Amino acid sequence: MNRFTYPFCYTPDPEIVDAADRLIHRIDADPELRNLFREGKMMGVLMVEDAEGRKDFMYAFSGIAGGKGVVEGFVPPIFDLTDPGGYFRKKEAEISELNRLISNSGDASEIEAMKARRKEMSVALQEWLFRQYVVLNALGERKTILDIFAERDLMPPGGTGDCAAPKLLQYAYLHGLKPLAMGEFWYGESPEKEVRRQGCFYPSCTGKCGPLLAFMLQGLDVEPNPLEEDSPSSSEDFSIVYEDGDIIVADKPSGMLAVPGRTLKVSLQERLQRLAGPGTDIRACHRLDMDTSGLIVFAMGTGNLAVLQQQFERHEVQKSYVAKLCPGKPLAAAGRISLPLMLDYDDRPRQMVDFKDGKQAVTDWELLRELPGGEALVRFTPLTGRTHQLRVHAAHPLGLGRPIAGDRLYGGGSGRLCLHAATLSFTHPRTAQPLSFTSDPRF
C-alpha cells in the first residue's frame, strides 16, 4: 500500500473490506446499534498508522443516528449539532417557533414579514454553522468549511462536513495518526431515491465532499484519479464496423471517451477525426458513457448529423445492450422497468429515482442466461434515453435490484463496467436504407 485512497473513484483495499465486514457483524449483533442504524446509513472506515508504526481502524457514520451525533465505537462529529443547550439548537428552536406563528397567523403582511425574518435567520444560522467546522489537512493547515468553498465561489450545501470521510480524516489529524486507506460503504435498507446496497462501497459525494476533501487530503500521497488516466481496458483499441462517406459505425472499448470531455483522455471522436484528416467534420450522433463499450455511430458533416439526430429524437433508432449483473435475487424471464430519474445535485453524476420531480425512464429487459458464479446476462432495450438509465434500473430495488458488475457508482464493485451496446439499427442519412449492426460483449 503506497498511496492513500482517491475517494471519488476507487477499489477498496482488502483490509478496508475486511474492516467493513467486521463492523457490519458488530452492528448486526448489537440490538442498540441495529436500532440506531435501522433506516440505513453511509459508513466509513479509515486505516491509520501511529508513530510506532502500529495499524488500527476507525469508523464513522454520516450525519446523525437516532438523534445522536456521538456513538461509542465511532469517531465524533467535527461539530456536534445535537447538543440540546447549544447555540444551534436554540436558534433552530426560534426558527421553528416562527414557522408555528406563520401557520397560525391570518394577517398577510405579518406573514410576509415573518417569512423574511425566517429566511434571514436561516441564512445567518447556516453561515454561523459552517464557521464552526474548522478542518485540518495533513500539512497541519486549518480552514473553515465556509472559507474552503468560498475559494471556489461556492456556498457549502447543507450537511457539508457531516459525511463519514471528513469525520475520519479530522479525527486522525487531531490525534497524530497517519491515514493509510479509506472506504465508504452502506449499512441497512436501501433508501427510496438513492441506489445503496448493504456492504457495497461507494465514492465520496462530489457536492459536499468534493472541495472539502480536496483540502483535507493535501499533504497525503493520494492515488491519481482513475478517470484522468487510461484504464487497462481503455488500452484496447476500437474497431470500425462500417464506414462510407457519410457515417462511421465504431465499436468502442470500455474506458475510452466517446466524445471530448473534461479530462486529458483522447476520445474516440478525436481518434476518428485524426484518421480522417483535415477537412472532414466527424461528430458523434449519440453518447456512450466512458465505461460502456459497444456500438456508436458518427456522422460526417453537419447535414448527416442533423438527419441522424432527428432519428434519435423521434425514437426511430433501435438500440439494445447486454449487461452482466452482480449475483442477487432470482430474475424472471423478462419485464419492463419504469422508474423516473433525476440528477443527484449533491453527488454528480449519480442519478436517483424521484417520483415527484424525476423524468420518466422506461427499459425493457430479458434474461439471457444465469452464469455459474451467480451473475446473470441480460439484454436491455431502453425506450427512453436518460443518463445512467440502465445502470440505475439494474441496481435500484424497484428495478432488478442487481447492479451491473463493475458499476462503482451504483454498488457493482470494481473492475470494468460490464455494459455493452450490442445492437444498433437506424436509417442511412443519405440513401434512406435501413442499417443494422451487432457486436458481441467481451466480458
DSSP line for 17-35: HHHHHHHHHHHHH-HHHHH
313: enclosing H helix or E strand: helix 302-313
Q: pTM to 2 decimals?
A: 0.84
* pLDDT score for 123: 87
Structural contact between residues 121 and 94, judged by C-beta atoms closer than 8 angstroms: yes
* pLDDT score for 86: 80
* pLDDT score for 232: 42
pLDDT tens, position by position, 4-58: 999 999 999 999 999 999 999 999 999 999 999 988 999 999 999 999 999 999 9
Check residue 2 and give left, alpha or beta (phi > 0: left; psi -120 to 50: alpha): alpha
Q: Are strands 142-144 and 282-284 parallel, antiparallel or unpaired?
A: unpaired
- Phi and psi torsions of 3, nearest 5°: -130, 150
Residue linked to cell 459505425: 249
Residues of the chain below pLDDT 70: 1, 229-236, 263-264
According to DSSP, the residues that pair with 336 across neighbouring strands are 364
What are the sequence ranges of the domains in the chain? 14-79+133-223, 228-438
The fold of 228-438 is Pseudouridine synthase (3.30.2350)
Q: Are strands 239-243 and 41-49 parallel, antiparallel or unpaired?
A: unpaired
- The catalytic position among 28, 107, 230, 289 is 289
Q: In terms of Cα–Cα distance, which of 408, 391, 407, 409 is closest to 399?
A: 391
* pLDDT score for 1: 56
83 is catalytic: no
Amino acid at 418: C
SS3 call for 426: strand
pLDDT tens, position by position, 341-376: 999 988 889 999 999 999 999 999 999 999 999 999
pLDDT tens, position by position, 209-233: 999 999 999 999 999 987 776 544 4
